[in-house]
Every structure is written in C-alpha cells, then in structure tokens.
Amino acid sequence: MSEADRPGGDEGSRARLRVFRGGRARGGRARPASPRDVVRRLSALERRVEQALGSGDQRAERDRLRAALDQALAAVARLRRSTPRDLAELADVLRADATESLLAALYRWWWRVETVGLERVPASGRVMLVANRGGALVPYEALMIREAVRRAHPLLDDWMATAPLLGAALARAGAVRAAPATVRRLLGRGEAVIVCPESIHPKPFRDRYRLGRFGRGVFARLAIETATPIVPVAVIGAEEVHPVLARLDLPGRLLGLPALPITLTFPWLGLWGLVPLPTKWALLFGDPLDVAVRHRPGDASDPALVGRLRDQVRERLQALVLEGLRRRRSLFLG
C-alpha cells in the first residue's frame, strides 16, 4: 500500500477530493450572477442571434445559435440561485430596458425617423435643443430627439413628471422635471437638454406646424445665465400622430392633465385611440446660436434681452419647420 493510500497519509491528496451530489460540488458553490450580469449575458445572446441570422453560412449559423442557446440556459440557471433583492434589481433593469426598447422601436420602425444636420449638435459640452410640439400629451418629439442625441435629457412638465406610471417610465429614458434649478444643474455639468417651449398644449390640429407662444422665455434666461448654445430642431411628422379636434379643459384638469384632447381616434376607438399614427418623421437640426457671444450672464436679469433671444429662437425654429415641410413629399412615406 502506498503512503498516500494509508490512513493519515498524504493530506494534500485528500484535500483535492470533493464529494459531488446532484452534479454539483459541495465545496465549490457557484456565486449567483448579479442582475446586470444577467442582462449583459442576454444582450450578448441577442447579438449572437442577430449575427447568426445575418450570415449566409448555414453551418456557422447552427454553431452560433447553439452557443447562444447554451448561454441563455446558463443565464437562467444562475438566475434561479439569485436572492429576492437580486430579482428586484433585475426587474428595475428590465423595466428600463423595456422603455429603451420601445422608444428605439418607435424611432426605427414605427416613425422611421430620419435626421438632417445632426452634425450641428456639439458632441460634448452643454447645449440646449429647442423643438416644436404637436398635439400628443406624451412628449414624443423630445423622446425621439433623445434617440438621435443620446446624451440629451428631455424636460417634462410638472404633471407628467409626477404621473404614476408615465413619469417613472420617462425618467428611465433620461427625462427630468423642467424645474429651472434642475436645468441649471444639468447645464452646469456640461449636459444637453431638450426643450419644447410652446405654451399652448395640446395644440389643435388646425394650428399644426404654426409655433405657439414661447411663454416668458425661461429657457432663454437659463441659456444666457449658463452661456449655453441653442440648437433649433424642427420635428416634421409629429404633429399628425394625434390630430386634436377639440380640447376639454375642465375634464382634463379633473384628471390631472392640462386638457383632455379629442382626436380622430380617441375616445372613439377606446384605448386603441391612444396609439399614435405611423407617420414618417424627420428631424432637422439648425445652426447653433452662440449665446455666449451675444450675451453676458448678467443679461439674464433684463426681461427685454431675454424676450429678444426668445423671439429670435422662435423665428429660427419656425423657418426650419417650414423648410422641413417643403422637403416632405408624403405624410406617411416621407
């Protein structure tokens, strides 16, 4: 009998022995995957499937799909060993991903958004994107601009930011409440914000693509204070997704809305009437307006100078909207 086979023999040899029960080592318990690790694995799975479907080699497709399936099963197996806290974190991640996926689908497939002049938006540093609004209560225009300019934050009205479901979903997409202190803080950090300053909302269909009043011009005052350049953005196609025939102000206020819009489809089609029409969209980005060259930060306290900048931005945006309408050939085909 060798020295290692005797009782009390080589302890190093015995230390390497493990007892397996049900195919799992008792001494080597696997650590649960974090929710973000699971999401990363599933994202890699999606990329593998897309690569497999896009390849012309059938054998390579089978190999990629087999590897992708193995990866998915491994992710599910590790997820079963996660704690309740891990599952709650994963639910938050998946809800954020669902919101992002829905917006991406609207941008790419539903409205087939095209951009013109996107290179005019600075790649870094603070900037304010000012756009027109249509008749929809949901700020689809700002959300689609954010899909084109990923670092930008859409600004929400107070009622929308506090809405139980909608506000939380839009916050996951980077939207923030349009409070002056919040906007000032974002611009101070070199962020980009998206502003839709028209005060009449929802806009009646008869007034489509005619810009309403820009209110007191809070956006212009903040741009002067922070020396932020302003880029006008004309959104073409958005003002027909919910053609507003009439506004019911009192019922809307009772529901916590600025107004209850009556459209071609709502309330006649029930909840289906809330689905926006699949018009063809175009985003036209104009030349930046260098506020720092024209104004000093102290000019923000002068209502006349603030009003002049507000009107100048409105005129530039209206001209850009008219240019976009001249380019359009069809409402649904672009």
Whether 238 maps to a domain, the answer reads: yes
37 with 184, same domain? no
95 with 196, same domain? no
Q: What are the Cα distances from residue 12, in Å, to 6, 25, 63, 265, 282?
A: 13, 18, 41, 77, 71
Last residue of a domain, one of 83, 108, 133: 108
Whether 85 maps to a domain, the answer reads: yes
Whether 50 maps to a domain, the answer reads: yes
208 with 295, same domain? yes
pLDDT at 8 over 60: no
* Long-range pairs, 274-278, Cβ under 8 A, ≥24: 276/110, 276/136, 276/140, 276/241, 276/242, 277/240, 277/241, 277/242, 278/110, 278/111, 278/332
**322 is in which domain, residue-wise?**
113-327
Mean pLDDT of 129-145: 94
272 with 319, same domain? yes
140 with 256, same domain? yes
CATH at 147: 3.40.1130
pLDDT at 127 over 90: yes
40 with 145, same domain? no
pLDDT at 57 over 60: no
Last residue of a domain, one of 77, 108, 139: 108
Whether 243 maps to a domain, the answer reads: yes
Are 39 and 90 contacting, i.e. CB atoms less than 8 angstroms apart? yes
Whether 14 maps to a domain, the answer reads: no
Domain total in the chain: 2
Q: What is the 3-state secondary structure (H, E, C) of the chain?
A: CCHHHCCCCCHHHHHCCCCEECCEECCCCCCCCCHHHHHHHHHHHHHHHHHHHHCCCHHHHHHHHHHHHHHHHHHHHHHHCCCHHHHHHHHHHHHHHHHHHHHHHHHHHHCCCEEECHHHCCCCCCEEEEECCCCCCCCHHHHHHHHHCCCEEEEECHHHHCCCCHHHHHHHCCCEECCHHHHHHHHHCCCEEEECCCCCCCCCHHHCCCCCCCCCCHHHHHHHHHCCCEEEEEEECHHHCCCEEEEEHHHHHHCCCCCEEEECCCCCCHHHHHCCCCCCCEEEECCCECHHHHCCHHHHHCHHHHHHHHHHHHHHHHHHHHHHHHHCCCCCCC
Q: Which residue has the tokens 């005060």?
A: 199
Last residue of a domain, one of 76, 108, 140: 108
- Residue 194, sorted as left (phi over 0), alpha (psi -120 to 50) or beta, turns out to be beta
Structure tokens at 308: 């002049």
128 with 194, same domain? yes
201 with 82, same domain? no
Are 241 and 134 contacting, i.e. CB atoms less than 8 angstroms apart? yes
87 with 134, same domain? no
Q: What is the mean pLDDT of the chain?
A: 81
Q: Give the count of beta carbons closer than 10 Å to the beta carbon of residue 107.
A: 20
Q: What is the pLDDT of residues 103-117, one digit of tens each?
A: 999 999 999 999 999
Whether 20 maps to a domain, the answer reads: no
137 with 158, same domain? yes
pLDDT of residue 13: 44
Whether 5 maps to a domain, the answer reads: no
309 with 180, same domain? yes
Whether 54 maps to a domain, the answer reads: yes
Q: What is the pLDDT of residues 215-257, one digit of tens each?
A: 899 999 999 999 999 999 999 999 999 999 998 888 888 888 8
What gap in Å lies between CA 209 and CA 212, rounded to an integer? Answer: 9
Q: What is the pLDDT of residues 191-217, one digit of tens each?
A: 999 999 997 778 889 999 999 999 899
Number of Cα atoms under 13 Å in the Cβ half of residue 194: 29
Q: What is the pLDDT of residues 61-113, one digit of tens each?
A: 456 556 555 554 555 555 555 555 554 554 455 456 678 888 999 999 999 99
pLDDT of residue 122: 94
pLDDT at 290 over 80: yes
56 with 192, same domain? no
